[in-house]
Structure 1
Amino acid sequence: MFQKTKISAALIVAFGGGGALGVLPAHAQDSSVQRVEVTGSAIKRVDAEGALPVQVINREAIQRSGATSVTDLIQRLPAMQGATTESASVGGGGGGFSGASVHNIGETRTLVLLNGRRLAQFGGQTLTGFGAAIDLNTLPLSAIERVEVLATGASSLYGSDAIAGVVNFITRRNSTEGDLTLGASKPQKGGAEEKRFSLSKGFGSLEEDGFNVFFAIGADKRDPLNATQREASKTGVINFNHNGKRYQAFLGSPSAIPGNVLDDDGDIVSPYFLANGSCAPGNVRSTDPATGKTACYFDFVAALEIFPERERQQAMVSGDLKLGQNHTLFADVLLSRTESTGIIAPVPGSISIPRSSPLYDQYLTPVSGMQGSTFTQDTTAFYRVADLGRRADKNKSEFSNGVIGVRGVFGEWDYETGLSYSKSDFKNDISGYPGALALSRLRSSGLLNPFVGPGEMPAESLAAVRNIVYNGYWDGGTSELASLDGRVSRSLMNLAGGPLQMALGVNYYQEKFQGKPSLFAQAKLADPVAGTLCDPDSADPNLQCDQRFGDAAAIIPYSADRKAWGVFTEVVAPVTKTLELTGSVRYDDYSDFGSTTNGKLMMKWRPTTGLALRGSLGTGFKAPTVPQLKAAPQSFGVTSSPYDCTPELQAVATSLNAQCQPRGRQYDVVAGGNPKLKPEKSRQAHVGMVFEPVQAMSVGVDWWWVGIKDAFGQISEQEAFDNPQRYPGAWTTQRDIATGIDFLAYNQANLNLGKAYYSGIDFDVQGRYNTPIGRLGGRLVATYMLAEKVQLQEGGQYFNPVGVNEPSLSYVTFRWQGRASAELQTGKWLNSLAANFKSGYRDAIASVEVLGPNDANTGEFEDVQLKIKNYVTWDWQTQYALNSRLTFTLGVLNLTDTKVPLTLAEGGAGKGQMFGYDDRYHDIRGRTYYVNASFKF
Structure 2
Amino acid sequence: MAQQQEKLERVEVTGSSVRRIDAESALPVLVMKREDIERSGATSTVDLLRRVTAVQGATGEAAAVGGSSYGFSGVSIHNIGETRTLVLLNGHRLSQFGGQTLTGYAAGFDLNAIPVSAIERVEVLTDGASALYGADAIAGVVNFITKRDMSTGDVTVGISKPSAGAEEKRFSISKGFGDISADGYNLMVSYAHDERTQLLSLDRSYGKTGKIQFSHQGKRYQFKHFSVSPIPANATGDSDNLFSPHLKATGSCPEKTFRITEGADDYCGYDYVGDLEIYPERKRDSAFATFTKRLGDHEFFADLLWSKTQQVSRIAPVPGGILITAGSALHDKYLKPWGVTGNSVAYYRLFDLGKRVNNDTAKFLDLAVGMRGVYAGWDYNTSFTHSKSDVAGVTSGYPGDKAVAGLLGSGLLDPFVGPGQQSEAANKGIAAIHYKGYFDGGTAQLTPADLRGSRELMELPAGPMLLGVGVNLSKEDFESKPSLFAQGLLSDPVAGTVATKPEDRDQRFGDASAKPAFAVGRKSRGAFAELVIPVFKGFELGTALRYDHFSDFGSATTVKESFRWTPMPSLLIRGSLGTGYHAPTVSQLSSPLQSYGVTSDRYSCSEDTASARELKKMADSLGVLCQPGSRQYDQMAGGNPDLKPEKSRQATLGVRFEPNKALTLGADLWWVGISNAFGQLPEQLVFGAPATYASSWGTQKNVGTGLTYLAFKADNRNLGKSFHNGLDLDFAARMKLPVGDWTSQLTATYMIRERQQQLKNGPYYSAIGDYDAALGSVTFRTSGRWTNTLKAGAWVHSLGINFKSGFKDQEKTVEVLDASDKPTGATEKIRLNVGYFVTADWQTAYTLGKSFVFTAGVLNLFDKEPPLSISTSGNSRGQQFGYDARYYDPRDRTIYLNATYKF
Residue 853 of structure 1 deviates from its aligned partner by 4.1
Distance in 2 between residues matched to 1:808 and 1:419, nearest whole Å: 43
> How big is the shift at 1:445?
1.2
Q: CA deviation at 1:693?
A: 3.0
* Corresponding residue number in structure 1 for 2:578: 618
For the residues of structure 2 that align with 1:227 and 1:545, how far apart are their CA atoms? Answer: 36
Match in the other structure for 2:555: 595
Matched residue type, 1:630: S
Give the AA of the match of 1:450: P
- Find the counterpart in structure 2 of residue 371 from structure 1: none
The one-letter amino acid paired with 1:357 is: S
Q: What is the rounded CA distance, in whole Å, between the counterparts of 2:754 and 2:512 in structure 1?
A: 36
The Cα shift of 1:333 comes to 0.8
Could you give the per-residue CA deviations for residues 709-767 of structure 1, whole angstroms, max 9, x where no partner exists?
00010000010100111112110000011111110000000000000100000001111
1:320-331 to 2 correspondences below 5 Å: 320-324=292-296, 326-331=297-302
Answering whether residue 336 of structure 2 is matched by residue 365 of structure 1, we say yes
1:536-594 superposed Cα distances (whole Å, 9 cap, x missing partner) = 257xxxxx111000021100100001000000001111111110111110000000100
Give the structure 2 partner of residue 201 of structure 1: 175
Query: Any idea what SS the aligned residue of 2:564 has?
Result: strand
Task: Compare 109-118 and 137-146 and name the one that shifted more.
Answer: 137-146
Contact map agreement 1:642 1:663 (CA 8 A) in 2: no
Paired with 2:497 and 2:819, the residues of 1 have a C-alpha distance of 59
Confirm whether residue 753 of structure 1 aligns to residue 719 of structure 2: yes
Aligned partner of 1:477 in structure 2 is: 442
Secondary structure of 2:134's counterpart equals coil
Alignment of 1:462-861 (within 5 A): 462-536=427-501, 544-645=504-605, 646-861=612-827
Hey, which bits of structure 1, 4+ residues long, moved more than 6 A? Answer: none
Counterpart secondary structure, 1:477? strand
Q: Is 1:57 the equivalent of 2:22?
A: no
Q: Is the 8 A contact 1:198 1:219 kept in 2?
A: yes
CA contact under 8 A between 1:287 and 1:859: conserved in structure 2? Answer: no
Q: 1:7 offset after TM fit, Å?
A: 6.6
2:882 to 916, 921, 933: 916
Tell me the amino acid that sits aligned with residue 786 of structure 1. Answer: I
Q: 1:405 aligns with which of 358, 370, 374?
A: 370
Q: 1:340 and 2:311 equivalent? A: yes
Q: Distance in 1 between matches of 2:896 and 2:546?
A: 46
Q: What is the alpha-carbon distance in structure 1 between the residues aligned to residue 511 and residue 45 of structure 2? A: 35
The residue type equivalent to 2:221 in the other structure is Y
Take 2:372 and 2:166, find their aligned partners in 1: how far apart are those partners? 44
Q: Which residue of 2 is the match for residue 309 of structure 1?
A: 281
Deviation at 1:75, TM superposition (A): 2.2
Residues of 2 paired with 1:191 and 1:245: CA distance?
35
Structure 2 partner of 1:20: none
CA contact (8 A) 2:129 2:580 kept: yes
Query: Which residue of structure 2 lines up, in the alignment, with residue 19 of structure 1?
Result: none
Counterpart residue number, 2:228 = 254
Letter in 2 for 1:757: F
**1:694: how far off?**
3.1
User: Contact (CA 8 Å) 1:781, 1:818: kept in 2 or not?
Assistant: yes
CA contact (8 A) 2:358 2:396 kept: yes
In 2, Cα distance between equivalents of 1:603 and 1:160: 19
Q: Which amino acid is the alignment partner of residue 362 of structure 1?
A: K
Ranges in structure 1 where 5+ consecutive residues have no aligned partner: 1-5, 12-31, 369-373, 539-543
In 1, are the aligned partners of 2:582 and 2:645 still within 8 Å (CA)? Answer: yes
What TM-score results when the alignment is normalised by the length of structure 1? Answer: 0.95
Superposed CA offset, 1:595-622 (max 9, x none): 0110100101112231110000000001
Distance change in 2, residues 1:537/1:833 (3 Å)? closer
Deviations 1:38-59 (A, max 9, x none): 1001111111111000011111
Alignment-mate amino acid for residue 158 of structure 1: Y
Match of 1:81 in 2: 56
Using the alignment, how far apart are the partners of 2:757 and 2:500 within structure 1? 45
TM-score (norm 2): 0.98
Deviations 1:227-256 (A, max 9, x none): 000100111110111122211111001101
Contact in 2 for aligned 1:875/1:893 (Cα 8 Å): yes
**Residue identity opposite 2:777 in structure 1:** Y
How many Å separate the matches in 1 of 2:118 and 2:301? 16
In the alignment, is the contact (CA less than 8 A) between 1:422 and 1:482 conserved in 2?
yes
CA deviations 1:617-670 (Å, max 9, x no partner) are: 000001110000000000010000111221111111111111111122110000
Percentage of pairs with the same residue: 50
Is residue 433 of structure 2 the alignment partner of residue 440 of structure 1? no
Decide which moves more: 643-652 or 297-306.
Answer: 643-652
- CA distance in 2: counterparts of 1:855 and 1:272, whole angstroms: 25
Distance in 1, Cα, partners of 2:243 & 2:486? 32
2:161 is aligned with 1:186: yes
- Describe the SS at the equivalent of 1:754: strand
Counterpart of 2:345 in structure 1 is: 380
Return the alpha-carbon distance in structure 1 between the equivalents of residues 120 and 376 of structure 2: 30
Using the alignment, how far apart are the partners of 2:479 and 2:798 within structure 1? Answer: 47
Q: What's the CA shift for 1:101?
A: 0.2
Question: Cα gap change, 1:612/1:537 in structure 2, threshold over 3 Å: closer, same or farther?
Answer: closer
- Mapping for residues 7-18 of structure 1, pairs under 5 Å: none
What is the DSSP-based 3-state SS (H/G/I as helix, E as strand, rest coil) of the residue aligned with 2:11? coil
Inter-partner Cα distance in structure 2 for 1:50 and 1:138: 29
Shift of residue 34 of structure 1?
A: 0.5
Task: Report how far residue 33 of structure 1 moved.
Answer: 6.4
Whether the aligned pair in 2 keeps the contact of 1:75 and 1:83 (CA below 8 Å) is no
Asked if residue 176 in structure 1 is aligned to residue 147 in structure 2, the reply is no
Equivalent position amino acid for 2:195 in 1: K
Q: Which protein has the bigger strand share?
A: 2
Match of 1:92 among 54, 67, 75: 67
Report if the CA contact (8 A) 2:633-2:711 is conserved: yes
> Which residue in the other structure is 1:29 paired with?
none
Aligned-residue Cα RMSD (Å) equals 1.2
Gaps of at least 5 residues in structure 2 are 606-611
Residue by residue over 1:85-115, the C-alpha shift from the partner in whole angstroms, topping out at 9 and shown as x without a partner, is 0010001222200001000000000000011
Mapped partners of 1:831, 1:856: distance in 2: 51
Question: Which amino acid in 1 is paired with 2:315?
Answer: I
Question: CA–CA distance in 2 between the matches of 1:364 and 1:671?
Answer: 37
Report the Cα distance in structure 1 between the residues aligned to 2:867 and 2:284, rounded to whole angstroms: 30
Counterpart selection for 2:42 from 25, 50, 67: 67
